[in-house]
Structure 1
Amino acid sequence: MLIPAAHVHWARCPGGTAVLNLRSGQWSIFEGDGARIWDAVTLRGSIAGLAEEFAVPVGRDIAATRTAIDAYLVQLRAMGLLTDATARRSRRWWWSR
């Protein structure tokens, strides 16, 4: 399961999603399918059925669409925007011992 990295802030905007990577200071704006993929990860918690949602209404190949979505998610992970939920470590603060 992928989730936004701890250093990422995001907001839905008219027509898309704005994402700020606090480590790099870089903004990313996702529109169209990119925003729908981000929403599936962040709001639904899963991309299950997303390829079918994209492909069926327009007659695209579902397997090719799934491959494209997976490649997009790999790119978002490489940018440091998404991380594996199990990889996120809880922080231990000195006052929480």
Structure 2
Amino acid sequence: MSAVIAERELGYSNLVSTVPGRVVIEAPEPDQTDWRCFYSVSLPGMDFRRRTVGVDSFQALQLAMVSAVSEIANSAAFKSGHLTVFGEPLLTIDDLKQCFGLPRLHGDAA
């Protein structure tokens, strides 16, 4: 596991309590001729670690952030309106993107 360079805490909120979760981005590393960047998501119903590959460390890092957010956007937890950040609900794709500082996800209208 590489050094963690970014982490965002999310909450899974139901009517009774909020369960903590998190998204972790690790430092990009050289991978033969390219760069790889691991990211992990840990939320109720989601617990995985994946990697992206880019032509340089910057692209690998960007792809990791976009990939993590895309996976969250497609999760049942997000679609059902249970996710929060800093105690505020993440109800729209724009809320989710803003939470991670992403102006646009693949597939968004220009």
- Give TM-score scaled by structure 2 length: 0.32
- Give TM-score scaled by structure 1 length: 0.36
* Structure with bigger gyration radius: 1
